[in-house]
Amino acid sequence: MQARIPKSAALATLLALMAPAISQAHDEAPGLPPATLPLSALPKSPALDVSSLKVNKPVKLAEDDAFREKDVWGRIRSGYAIPDINNDLVGKHVNWYATRPDYIARTTARASRYLFHVVTELEKRGMPTELALLPFIESAFNPQALSSANAAGMWQFVPGTGRDYNLKQDAFKDERRGVLASTDAALSYLQRLYDMFGDWQLALAAYNWGEGSVQKAIKRNQAAGKPTDFESLAELMPAETRNYVPKLQAVKNIIANPAQYGLNLPAIDNTPYFTAVDKTSDIDLTIAAHLAELSVDEFKALNPQFKRPVITGDEQTKILLPKENADKFHLNLAQWGKDLSTWTTHKITTARESIGTLASRFHTTPEVIRQANNIPQKSLLKAGSTILVPKISTSASVDISPEVERNATVAFEAERERTTSKAGYKLAKGGKAAKSSPVALVKARVSHDAAKGKSRRKN
């Protein structure tokens, strides 16, 4: 480089002026001696005007930077990176949220369990942090939410898309509801859509409407010589999608400055809410909650993917618990000294196996079997069904195998009119948990004689 520099007074003066910048560039690239600095390290003149540049992705935060904010809301605000829109629909939705403080309070209270994890995952991927607010629109942060289109969970995956992103759906669990699995799948899906369209607003529209529909709308506008940004395509979208991005913008505006709208957000500490605990054997959901010293509702809020009263799975299955409760869980588990699961499986081999007959055989009631397996009243089990039944002997103490879990199905048909009375049985009530989950958390009720026999065998 030195051999090409003319020895003139003017250039010497120029190099003197550039020396601070060269020194700074050398500090940033200490492996290069000053004489061999790349041309890209030299300042350019005139200065670049960056006022018109759009940033689609935030720069990935260093780990220390992520913890400088006092609460998670601050982290979300600092990572906003999707271009704003400002239209009548945004104003309409801002007004809707701002005039419903109770709704905001309920939704943000639910969100407080999950937001730290979601924001951390977004920052790891270098994605806009306002995407953490998307469950506000999808499910109000309710992981038990189920739409009329059979979209489930906090991120509202339909069954097919869930399977595309490796979310297991079987008789025992539905990972579309799971906090860790569904968040990972949703962010992977959103990133794929962004890579497809190069625009976060269009990616969001595709998340709601489907990428094929957005691609067709783009081609239609291109053929007509019209722009293909979100607002230009909005007139081609169904009402739900047309309102989708404005709803997110409305929530984004409120989170950015809640006081402007007369709202208060609950403080959410910028620390992990939960930790993952390895599950080494089958365990009843109620027993797991008891060992963690949590209510069943709180346990299910962190572990909504489990559909049955028993949590099955292989060594990869984990349960989520607040950290202090995880410590209690390990301590109580070490002192438990009893069976962790009171359930096993039974395969129906003939239509003659009625629920009443099964209840008598397994020392329980028909309602307990119906509730544990989500079998409607006035229906009969079909042959080939695999159902949960109470354990009645130590010979049934082995865990439910992963193969059974993967392949288990429960099929039933309408029961014919019968003249026999079913008086004497009452529907087992599950309280609030029953209303918010597909199956109530029943206990496997075993007869006193069977229980005593089991106790004697353990001694």
Q: What is the pLDDT of residue 80?
A: 98
The DSSP annotation for 17-75 comes to HHHHHHHHHHHHSTTS-GGG--GGGS--SSPP--TT---SSPPPPPHHHHTTSSBHHHH
Helix, strand and coil content of the chain, in percent to the nearest 5, comes to 50, 10, 40
pLDDT in tens, 259-272: 999 999 999 999 99
Stronger pLDDT, 22 or 261, i.e. the higher one: 261
CATH fit for domain 63-261, picks 1.10.10.10, 1.10.490.10, 3.40.50.1370, 1.10.530.10? 1.10.530.10
Q: Taking the domains of the chain in order of start, what are their residue ranges?
A: 2-41, 63-261, 277-334, 343-458
Q: What is the pLDDT of residue 67?
A: 54
Q: Tokens representing 369?
A: 């079997």
| Distance of alpha carbon 127 from alpha carbon 79, whole angstroms | 8
| Distance of alpha carbon 192 from alpha carbon 44, whole angstroms | 35
pTM comes to: 0.76
Is-contact 336 281, C-beta < 8 A?
no
pLDDT in tens, 29-40: 333 333 333 333
- Proportion of the chain above pLDDT 90, given as a percent: 67
Average pLDDT over residues 383-395: 86
Is the bond leading into 43 cis (omega within 30 degrees of zero)? no
Decide if pLDDT at 175 tops 60: yes
Stronger pLDDT, 121 or 445, i.e. the higher one: 121
Q: What is the pLDDT of residue 49?
A: 35
Confidence of residue 412 (pLDDT cuts 50, 70, 90): confident
pLDDT in tens, 39-86: 333 343 333 333 333 334 444 444 455 556 789 999 999 999 999 999
Q: Tokens representing 337?
A: 């000294």
Average confidence score pLDDT of the chain? 82
Decide if pLDDT at 13 tops 60: no
| Distance of alpha carbon 48 from alpha carbon 45, whole angstroms | 8
Decide if pLDDT at 189 tops 80: yes
Q: What is the pLDDT of residue 459?
A: 35
Number of helical (H) and strand (E) elements in the chain, helices listed first: 21, 8
Residues annotated as catalytic are: 138
